[in-house]
Amino acid sequence: MKFIIVIPARLASIRLPGKLLLEIAGKPVLQYVWQTAVASGAERVIIAADDNRIKNKAMEFGAEVCMTSNKHKSGTERISEVIQKENISSDALVVNLQGDEPLMPPEYIRHAAEVLASDSDAGVATLACPFTGLEELLNPNTAKVVLDKKSRALYFSRSVIPALKNQDYTEISDFSPWLRHVGLYAYRAEFILKYALLTESKAEKSESLEQLRVLHHGHKIKVGLVAKMPGPGIDSQDDFARVSGLILQNSFNNIS
């Protein structure tokens, strides 16, 4: 199976400016992400840069780079530009790997592409894993997903779904009925071009979950299951310190 990875790499960041160029053991965060992408077996790995500083650093470690506008509001919009500039085939499978996710396992990336390839009616695929505890389940920062019998998403929410009607959540000992969304996406290239034209939905705005736009407009999202959440991404200085420690300890087997 062939698939392409595009890594949206934006220099600006509100909470941690220039985070993709911060170094861990002498290598920028972006290089760890790129190495993970290459290890997944993708046919191509393209870094979608919005600044020459990103471009130059990526070229130093041998990555393929496509320069994109710095006006994009999302990584999906940036990928849409890459698809057009690189003349990527409309039926190509494209995985969106965020540039601040150096601990995403390569096998998860490949699995997302495989899940999408398995369902010709889906324009998008993503991943989910079981919850492991009550605090995690009740946390509004963790997105939940409910699936239909074909493993397609029915709905995503920050609330607990499915909800318990007549039971106290503190009495739960088995968390297997609930699935936590893993924010990794694979798309058919033709769908990304359509997605850029979709309007925001009320549910998406209320939940602050962009994937609800896809469901609102009647498109299908196939969901693959993985055993556990990947390592943390980097949004803040605290995140950077935590991820740096994990990499230095070689705690994740996707790091080289």
- pLDDT 10s digits, 107-140: 999 999 999 999 999 999 999 999 999 999 999 9
Angle (CA) 90 102 34, round 5°: 50
Task: Inform me whether the pLDDT recorded for 255 exceeds 50.
Answer: no
Q: Specify the number of domains making up the chain.
A: 2
Task: Inform me whether the pLDDT recorded for 169 exceeds 80.
Answer: yes
Residues 25 and 98 in one domain: yes
Task: Inform me whether the pLDDT recorded for 36 exceeds 70.
Answer: yes
Percent of the chain with pLDDT over 90: 89
The arithmetic mean of pLDDT across residues 49-73, rounded, is 96
Task: Inform me whether the pLDDT recorded for 167 exceeds 90.
Answer: no
Residues 91 and 19 in one domain: yes
Residues 4 and 99 in one domain: yes
pLDDT score recorded for residue 196: 83
Q: Residue 32: inside a domain, yes or no?
A: yes
CATH, residue 67 = 3.90.550.10
Task: Inform me whether the pLDDT recorded for 87 exceeds 70.
Answer: yes
pLDDT score recorded for residue 254: 45
Residues 92 and 143 in one domain: no
Residue 114 main-chain phi, psi, to 5 deg: -65, -40
Residues 4 and 100 in one domain: yes
pLDDT score recorded for residue 97: 98
Task: Inform me whether the pLDDT recorded for 166 exceeds 90.
Answer: no
Going from the C-alpha of 118 to that of each of 150, 177, 224, the distances in angstroms are 11, 24, 10
The arithmetic mean of pLDDT across residues 164-191, rounded, is 93
Q: What is the pLDDT of residues 179-202, one digit of tens each?
A: 999 999 999 999 999 998 899 999
Q: What is the pLDDT of residues 235-250, one digit of tens each?
A: 999 999 999 999 999 7
Tell me, what DSSP letter sits at residue 152? B
Residues 226 and 128 in one domain: yes
What predicted TM-score, i.e. pTM, was given to this entire model? 0.94
C-alpha span between 11 and 18 (Å, rounded): 5
**Six-digit token pair at 255?**
């790091």
If pLDDT is split at 50, 70 and 90, which confidence band does 253 have?
Answer: very low
Q: Residue 110: inside a domain, yes or no?
A: no
Interaxial angle between packed helices 106-117 and 29-39, expressed in degrees from 0 to 180 and rounded to the nearest 10:
50
Q: Residue 112: inside a domain, yes or no?
A: no
Residues 5 and 99 in one domain: yes
Q: Which helix (H) or strand (E) holds 183?
A: strand 179-188
3-state SS, residue 129: strand
Task: Inform me whether the pLDDT recorded for 90 exceeds 80.
Answer: yes
Task: Inform me whether the pLDDT recorded for 211 exceeds 80.
Answer: yes
Beta strand 4-9 pairing with 93-96: parallel
Q: Residue 5: inside a domain, yes or no?
A: yes
Average pLDDT along the chain: 95
Task: Inform me whether the pLDDT recorded for 252 exceeds 70.
Answer: no
C-alpha span between 48 and 219 (Å, rounded): 26
Contact 154, 56 (CB under 8 A): no
pLDDT score recorded for residue 14: 86
pLDDT score recorded for residue 3: 98
pLDDT score recorded for residue 73: 86
Residue 198's CB: how many other CB atoms inside 10 A?
Answer: 14
pLDDT score recorded for residue 207: 97
Least Cα distance to 6 among 69, 81, 70 occurs for: 81
Contact 96, 78 (CB under 8 A): no
Residue 68 main-chain phi, psi, to 5 deg: -130, 170
Q: Write out the residue range of the structural domain in which residue 134 sits.
A: 121-185+199-230
